[in-house]
Amino acid sequence: MSVLMSEIIGRSLDDLLEEPTFLTELKDGYREKAFKSLAAILSTPNHVHKAFLRIVLENDEVVRIPAYRIQHNNTLGPYKGGIRFHESVNEDEVVNLAALMTLKNALHEVPFGGGKGGVAINPREYDVRELYQICKKYVQYFSDILGPDKDIPAPDAGTGEREMNWMMSEYKSIRPGQRYRGSFTGKSVMNGGSLGRREATGKGVYFTLRYFLKDYLTENQQQLSESDNPIAQTALAYRDRKLKLAVQGFGNVGSVAALEAVHCDHLSNQVVAVSDRNVTLYHPEGLNIPALVQFTAMNRGDLPQTAEELAEAGVQAEVLDREDILYMDVDVLVLAALENQIHQDNVSRVQARIMVEGANAPITEEADTMLTQQGAIIIPDILANAGGVIVSYLEWLQGRETQFYSEDEVFKQLFDKMSTTMKAVYPAYMGTGKSLRQVCYNQAIMKLSANLYLQGKLF
């Protein structure tokens, strides 16, 4: 992530310090002291755990792999956050992501704190047995700090339900006779997972866009049409048109968001481009997204890369470079790959006027500022990609109660919770002149600060 969460937290606290209706009990010198306490508490993690996993490879070579578990803040509940397997993983990145989880849970009123884990590997370079050993060793090294009432990991980039199954099984072996179902979320349904967990993040990503362009704009059309806010004018211009979408990243998040778009009855959409780590596929009249989903499921997640593979998939498309998707003439760009995709050096080439962050921090702070000043709409990660942690919470609840919800009930609860959040942040976004990202950060830190004050932790 290109900007430290400590800087973001500091800016939000500066805003809230000048807000007379927030924590009115704190006045004069006491108020300044309390806000200094808040800055110290929220800008640093509670715990930083690091280990070097000892793994024996198939060729009998022994390697030591850096692994992390960061526990940022547990004011609202047990630590919660994914474990990513990626070669870019490092301590600073995981600390930042853990802080983002704290704010994300606070924003959506999910009763968890923020945590994050990571292992510095490219999972494609390891076979199944080696990945299994890595998962087991991760739990062994960090088992003392994990648990259904302490710290509850979930999938992230490079991990999925298979890895969560393995990790929960190892936790169960280490803690015989103790509750274990809630120790990890994102598991397979047969292993105590929740229906809808795999699709939750992608569905939530698309839902934030749909709710904004359909529900919110329809309900507030007259008021917004009279506004001189350039963001309002941009939004209204796109409300009733047939939208051209491009989706960067075609994993669990991007592929589900693309499917939601083409099947949506509320908006008229064409997904004209998708990309993965290898290629961009483009067709001006729209791609056959269900066929691409089926092809990737049979080909280790990779999109077709040649004319022969496109024919095999039954898809008509032009094959382009993977970065080309960022610069296409589309209405909406869904960023569901990795961080720092749009930055100061390439932002001038971006043509989309609406961007949705399915990944964490795909747009740098500098690029975000430039795009916002140009009237672009950015639905940020803290709002858009919270579907995973919301349904993880539902999975955790189901494991504790041993009563399981239908898929329809899971998605209803997901959309209800996200709708509640959006009803709070979209009007503030249109009314304050701040970016939607800053509005979300301010809302989250307001909730955290109020809880810290009520718990007597500021003095």
Rg (CA), the chain: 22
Mean pLDDT within 220-249:
86
Q: For residue 3, name the pLDDT band (cuts at 50, 70, 90).
A: low
Q: Maximum CA pair distance of the chain?
A: 71
CA dihedral 22, 27, 30, 34 (to 10 degrees): 10
Per-residue confidence at 12, pLDDT binned at 50, 70, 90?
Answer: very high
Beta bridge partners of 332: 245, 354
Average pLDDT (60-74) is 97
Nearest to 32 by CA among 19, 44, 17: 17
Which one is catalytic: 116, 203, 244, 417? 116
pLDDT reported for residue 119: 98
- Please give the average per-residue pLDDT across 133-148, as a whole number: 97
pLDDT of residue 207: 97
Q: For 307-366, give the DSSP string.
A: HHHHHHHT---EEEEGGGGGG-S-SEEEE-S-S-SB-TTTGGG---SEEEE-SSS-B-HH
- CA distances, 291 to each of 100, 298, 309, 314, 456 (Å): 35, 11, 12, 7, 56
Buried b (16+ CB within 10 A) or exposed e, 350-372: bebbbbbbbbbbbbbbebbebbb
3-class DSSP assignment, residue 68: strand
Residues 132-136 have a mean pLDDT of: 98
Per residue in 246-255, pLDDT (tens digit) is 999 999 999 9
Could you tell me the CA-to-CA distances from 314 to 290, 295, 296, 310 in Å, in that order? 10, 9, 13, 6
Is the distance from CB of 443 to CB of 422 less than 8 angstroms? Answer: no
What's the rounded mean pLDDT across residues 154-166? 94
What confidence category does residue 2 fall into, taking pLDDT thresholds of 50, 70 and 90? very low
Residue 435 to residue 173: CA distance in whole angstroms: 47
- Residue 418's identity, in one-letter code, is M
Alpha-carbon distance 403 to 426, whole Å? 34
CA distance 422 to 169: 37
344 versus 241: which is more confidently predicted?
Answer: 344
Q: Which tens digits make up the pLDDT trace of 82-127?
A: 999 999 999 999 999 999 999 999 999 999 999 999 999 999 999 9
Q: Is the pLDDT of residue 412 over 70?
A: yes
CATH class name, domain 198-385: alpha beta
Q: Is it true that 47-190 and 198-385 share their CATH fold?
A: yes
pLDDT of 183 higher than 90: yes
Work out the pLDDT band at 431, boundaries 50, 70, 90: confident
Domain map (residue ranges) of the chain: 1-39+442-459, 47-190, 198-385
116 is catalytic: yes
What integer is the mean pLDDT of 422-433?
89
Q: Say if strands 79-85 and 151-155 run parallel, antiparallel, or are unpaired.
A: parallel
Q: What is the pLDDT of residue 1?
A: 43
In the chain the first and final C-alpha atoms are separated, in Å, by 32
pLDDT of amino acid 229 = 78
Mean pLDDT (the chain, rounded): 93
Distance CA(411)–CA(396), nearest Å, equals 15
In tens, the pLDDT along 282-339 reads 999 999 999 999 999 999 889 999 999 999 999 999 999 999 999 999 999 999 998 8
Read off the pTM: 0.91
Cβ neighbours, 10 Å, residue 238: 17
pLDDT higher for 315 or 7? 315
**CATH superfamily ID and name for 47-190:** Leucine Dehydrogenase, chain A, domain 1 (3.40.50.10860)
What pLDDT score was predicted for residue 189? Answer: 93
